[in-house]
Amino acid sequence: MLNVVVMVSGGGTNLQAIIDAVEAGTITNTRLAGVISNNKNAYALERAAKHGIPAACVSPKDFEDRGQFNQKLLETVDGFEPDLVVLAGFLVVIPPEMTAKYRNRMINIHPSLIPSFCGTGYYGLRVHEAALARGVKVAGATVHFVDEGTDTGPIILQKAVEARQGDTPKELQRRVMEQAEWKILPRAIDLIANGKVKVENGKTIIEEPTRSGQEASL
């Protein structure tokens, strides 16, 4: 049984997708051990409470310096004894100590087809604003392992989504969430929970064939 901790800063729509998939049996061999937010007002904390999942808030605002916050954050994560840490819209820089400790055991969902529109400064609506400004015809989402860089870890799954003429950033954001993020993040967790993902030479190897060419492992 894979113990999973989900870290989130806002509404928690990806968290809800994970919860729904676990309850529906789409994600197998998995237990949601806890939810952590840096925001006391995050609706994600309410989602966790509604489903009986232990939750905690660790906010940088409650500490004198970043070092103290980083230490408390890592202690809180460790306290849930996770096998896998899932960053589902967690808008705080992960401490280097945590990245090292959970190497190839921490994943992130990013709302673009990496390496496009990723890295420092690309998050939330900014990603979709940049994509539409560039005139892309295809957007999408990526699940990847977390390393020391920003959106640079080994890619696990990707799914493409059509960018339509006249899209607003919010419209594209919603379509990417519904058609890509909410599908590939639960699937990645299920693959990891069943020992189907391994990392070799900085790339992932998945023991399951891709589906209809829409999702790819690199």
Cα 155 from Cα 157, distance rounded (Å): 6
Q: Quick one: three-class SS letters along 145-198?
A: ECCCCCCCCCEEEEEEEECCCCCCHHHHHHHHHHHHHHHHHHHHHHHHHCCCEE
Provide the β-strand partners of residue 109. Answer: 143
Residues acting as catalytic residues: 110
Place of tokens 């699937």: 187
Edge-to-edge strands of the sheet including 55-57? 55-57, 30-37, 2-7, 84-87, 106-110, 138-145, 155-162
Please give the distance of CA 11 from its chain centroid, rounded to a whole number: 13
Residue 16 contacts residue 184 (beta carbons within 8 Å): no
